[in-house]
Amino acid sequence: MLSNHLQNGIETARLAWSRLPNAEEGEQEDIGLVQRSDGSSSVESLDYEVVENYAYWEEQAQRGKLYVGYYVMVKWFFSLLIGIGTGLAAVFINLSVENFAGWKFALTFSIIQKSYVAGFFVYVLINLVLVFSSVYIVTNFAPEAAGSGIPEIKGYLNGIDIHGILLFRTLIGKIFGSIGSVGGGLALGKEGPLVHTGACIASLLGQGGSTKYHLSSRWLQGFKSDRDRRDLVTCGCAAGVAAAFRAPVGGVLFALEEVTSWWRSQLMWRVFFTSAVVAVVVRTAMGWCKSGNCGHFGSGGFIIWDISGAQEDYSFEEMLPMAIIGVVGGLLGALFNQLTRYISYWRRNHLHKKGNRVKIIEACLVSLITSFISFGLPLLRKCSPCPVSDPDSGIECPRPPGMYGNYVNFYCSKDNEYNDLATIFFNTQDDAIRNLFSAKTIHEYSAQSLLTFLVMFYTLAVVTFGTAVPAGQFVPGIMIGSTYGRLVGMFVVNFYKKLNIEEGTYALLGAASFLGGSMRMTVSLCVIMVEITNNLKLLPLIMLVLLISKAVGDAFNEGLYEEQAQLRGIPLLESRPKYQMRKMAAKEACGQRVVSFPRVVKVADVVSILQSNKHNGFPVIDHTRNGETLVIGLMLRSHMLVLLQSKVDFQHSPLPSDTRAGSRPIRHTPSEFVKPVSSKGLTLDDIHLSPDDLEMYIDLAPFLNPSPYIVPEDMSLTKVYNLFRQLGLRHIFVVPRPSRVIGLITRRDLLIEDNEESATELQSTSVRARHHDRRVSMGNGDAELPLLNGLLVQGHTSS
């Protein structure tokens, strides 16, 4: 009987230990988890760690290749769905915005033929209603939909789950909120929100629909692990950019450069596919709309500011003004980050604490100011006479009212005059940018108008940033940048007096420089700029300008998204360790004392431990036969809470359950251990335990992560940081320096091919020999079956 008992113990222990790897593809295992950041209660930890040692997965693995094939297929199918969904969302948003704005301008133009005052009131009123609808939806229905959402998505992919950012209501709030805020003419864009929208769609698909609104579908619930969800959200993010700018390659690079902390080539491949799907969906929809089915949409909007007619060539003298644009972009971008940081800080800590009404009033006030300025300022501006243009160019001056194009006749006394300030100010942003980028329109704008616009719009953009509406910074950034770019271009044209210099090209470079100076992206931004302007020839120039502006900006502060993430208390791990970490050892970084569990723990103890601290991970310690302690794994707080809630694993005996029962029945499905995305998850307060329950025990062995990563206590903190970030870990055990080395893994050991025999060479040397003896005396069995010894000693006692 004893030998049977022992055999059972050995088997169970083996099982417990052999369930090391996690899920489906044998890829990375522990991904980016985070300690709950204390200061900000809204930040939740994101549990990428799957319940990796649970028997369910063992079963799944046994189903083998067929299951893996199915799983891969589902992944690709999801990528397809994300692409389609995000593409459609983008088309819907753009369609609505273009129609609202087009209708608004058409109405205003038709009214101002009779009365400017009436037109003004109508214009202000429409804007106010649109902005009010947006801010009302956001404040009352989806508060997480405010802002661009990119810092939050960045945080999610870095490992931090912020409440509510990936919920269905946020998706809805984001879509309808951006329609209102962008249609209402505020100084913000719809591109950032689209990235968030894509991420929401991806996340909702990943959990098989929204559980709250009963839109959940059972057969889509394959993706319960946080790692899979994170991959989907990455796809959604890329799809968002691809849809927002119609820039598929830019989308892939954005996801790569800006958002993901952790990247694999397989994922790149899937992200690429998603972006391609988006491109096809958007193109199809645009084709359908071109036949006039979509109202105002399709004639002008949806990005692509084609400047293929721009200057073909550039000379070395132009490098200097271009460098100046880069420097200006860096300065203005850094200033923008700084100002928005201050304003957001003030809003967060003072204004927005006063409740939703204040938020609504604030947004409406901003809307009123914006309407006043954009209507009022052009009125003060004197009109210029139309230039004598050749009829071939297709540019009419003045343009017919209510249509898109340059040279708007606004409050002009004569018929063949135009108002240059109204051309950029009293217009949708897409059209304003198109007008600023436009070639063959030299001297369309006066320096005075451009300067006025720059100052006013910059101020508006800063003030608008942080109001409770969905708001992107791409388009405002392009507006600001292209204004001073065009300004520089005007001086260049006047100074060099060459015919082949186009002001529109300088406007483009200015736009790139401001975005570079503010957002500090390089490769993805460069590709996005090229894709939206459809002109590859300017690529080296855009690169140059971006390099300069990013370098200048970096001298002052961090990128916009990093600043905002910091402000919101999202603890992003940067890609490089801090300088002072070089002088620190791993041990010095451990801020808190370790609290550990024994293998079999009393429920009352669990509760008191969980109550007494906020740790999310606990080492589990067991004893070997000869009384030595041994770390057998890591137990997560969230998993512990699930065990406490379900109670099925409670036992009366304080001995490990395996030795008594043989193989345990499966009492949990892995999905029980998964926290729904964007939710708070279980807390101790949700769990009610009777006094009897508190006297029970739990054997933690089947539920812990048996081999978390470990580092020796005196390892340099930079090394630890790299380990942590590169592998996206949540917990690392700092352990004492080991007493011996069992083996050395080298590259060759990891190249597992068919020929494994050739590698065994036995050596015996004088130096090693004296250690060898020692090693043998320490007992080989001890090295091979550490848990087993603990089991055996207890099994022995119990039998």
Residue 161 parent element (H or E): strand 160-162
Q: By C-alpha distance, which of 206, 276, 274 is closest to 237?
A: 274
Q: How far is the CB of 471 from a copy of itself (least distance, A)?
A: 26
Q: How far is the CB of 622 from a copy of itself (least distance, A)?
A: 10
- Map residue 55 onto helix, strand or coil: helix
Q: How far is the CB of 745 from a copy of itself (least distance, A)?
A: 4
Dist. CA 63–CA 60, nearest whole Å: 5
Q: Retrieve residue 637's tokens.
A: 């707080």
Residue 368 C-beta-side C-alpha neighbours within 13 Å: 6
- Strand 160-162 versus strand 43-45 pairing type: antiparallel
How far are the Cα atoms of 633, 661, 776 from residue 792, in angstroms, in the given order? 18, 14, 21
Q: How far is the CB of 577 from a copy of itself (least distance, A)?
A: 5
> Contact with a copy of itself (CB under 8 A): which of 322, 519, 544, 677?
544
Regarding 596 and contact with a copy of itself (CB under 8 A), the answer is yes
Asked if the peptide bond before residue 398 counts as cis, ω within 30 degrees of 0, the response is yes
Q: How far is the CB of 174 from a copy of itself (least distance, A)?
A: 25
Regarding 534 and contact with a copy of itself (CB under 8 A), the answer is yes
Could you tell me if 262 and 55 are in contact, meaning their C-beta atoms sit under 8 angstroms apart? no
- Interface characters, 35-64, with a copy of itself (x: CB under 8 A): x-xxx---------------------x---
- Interface characters, 401-440, with a copy of itself (x: CB under 8 A): ----------------------------------------
> Contact with a copy of itself (CB under 8 A): which of 4, 11, 26, 447?
26
Q: How far is the CB of 715 from a copy of itself (least distance, A)?
A: 4
Q: How far is the CB of 594 from a copy of itself (least distance, A)?
A: 5
Q: By C-alpha distance, which of 596, 603, 616 is closest to 646?
A: 603
Q: Which of residues 511-530 bind a copy of itself (CB under 8 A)?
A: 522-523, 526-527, 530
Q: Which is nearer to a copy of itself, 628 or 692 (CB)?
A: 628
> Contact with a copy of itself (CB under 8 A): which of 8, 9, 17, 435?
17
Q: Which is nearer to a copy of itself, 447 or 751 (CB)?
A: 751
> Contact with a copy of itself (CB under 8 A): which of 761, 776, 777, 797?
761
Stretch touching a copy of itself by CB under 8 A, among 134-142, 214-222, 271-279, 424-432: 271-279
Q: Which is nearer to a copy of itself, 29 or 430 (CB)?
A: 29
Q: Which of residues 680-739 bind a copy of itself (CB under 8 A)?
A: 706-707, 709-727, 730-739
Regarding 537 and contact with a copy of itself (CB under 8 A), the answer is yes
Regarding 612 and contact with a copy of itself (CB under 8 A), the answer is yes
In the block, residue with structure tokens 């692990």: 225
Regarding 329 and contact with a copy of itself (CB under 8 A), the answer is no
Q: Which is nearer to a copy of itself, 59 or 756 (CB)?
A: 756
- Map residue 472 onto helix, strand or coil: strand
Q: By C-alpha distance, which of 154, 133, 362 is closest to 261?
A: 154
Regarding 570 and contact with a copy of itself (CB under 8 A), the answer is no
Torsion sign, CA atoms 216, 222, 227, 229:
negative
Could you tell me if 304 and 246 are in contact, meaning their C-beta atoms sit under 8 angstroms apart? yes
Q: How far is the CB of 600 from a copy of itself (least distance, A)?
A: 11
Q: By C-alpha distance, which of 633, 760, 606 is closest to 709?
A: 633
Q: How far is the CB of 474 from a copy of itself (least distance, A)?
A: 19
Question: Using CB atoms within 10 A of its CB, is residue 22 exposed (0-12), middle (13-18) or buried (19+)?
Answer: buried
Regarding 763 and contact with a copy of itself (CB under 8 A), the answer is yes
Q: Which is nearer to a copy of itself, 13 or 360 (CB)?
A: 13
Q: Retrieve residue 444's tokens.
A: 């369309």
Q: Retrieve residue 308's tokens.
A: 């293929």
Alpha helices by DSSP H, listed for 184-247, are 191-206, 226-245
Q: How far is the CB of 103 from a copy of itself (least distance, A)?
A: 29
Q: Which is nearer to a copy of itself, 596 or 799 (CB)?
A: 596
Q: Which is nearer to a copy of itself, 219 or 579 (CB)?
A: 579
**Total number of residues that touch a copy of itself (CB under 8 A):** 159
Q: Which residues contact 659 (CB under 8 A, 6 or more apart)?
A: 5, 8, 9, 12, 791, 794, 795, 798
Q: How far is the CB of 237 from a copy of itself (least distance, A)?
A: 15
Q: Retrieve residue 669's tokens.
A: 């499905």
Q: How far is the CB of 582 from a copy of itself (least distance, A)?
A: 4
> Contact with a copy of itself (CB under 8 A): which of 439, 631, 682, 684?
631
- Map residue 585 onto helix, strand or coil: strand
Q: By C-alpha distance, which of 101, 98, 94 is closest to 246?
A: 94
Q: How far apart are the first and last CA of the chain?
A: 9
Q: Which residues contact 567 (CB under 8 A, 6 or more apart)?
A: 341, 344, 345, 348
Regarding 615 and contact with a copy of itself (CB under 8 A), the answer is yes
Q: Which is nearer to a copy of itself, 3 or 763 (CB)?
A: 763
- Interface characters, 60-99, with a copy of itself (x: CB under 8 A): -x--------------------------------------
Q: Which is nearer to a copy of itself, 385 or 713 (CB)?
A: 713
Q: Which is nearer to a copy of itself, 391 or 736 (CB)?
A: 736
Q: By C-alpha distance, which of 517, 627, 518 is closest to 564?
A: 518
Q: Which is nearer to a copy of itself, 11 or 25 (CB)?
A: 25
Dist. CA 628–CA 144, nearest whole Å: 51
Q: Which is nearer to a copy of itself, 686 or 749 (CB)?
A: 749
Dist. CA 483–CA 150, nearest whole Å: 25
Backbone angles phi, psi at 634, to 5 degrees: -120, 130
Q: Which is nearer to a copy of itself, 102 or 790 (CB)?
A: 790
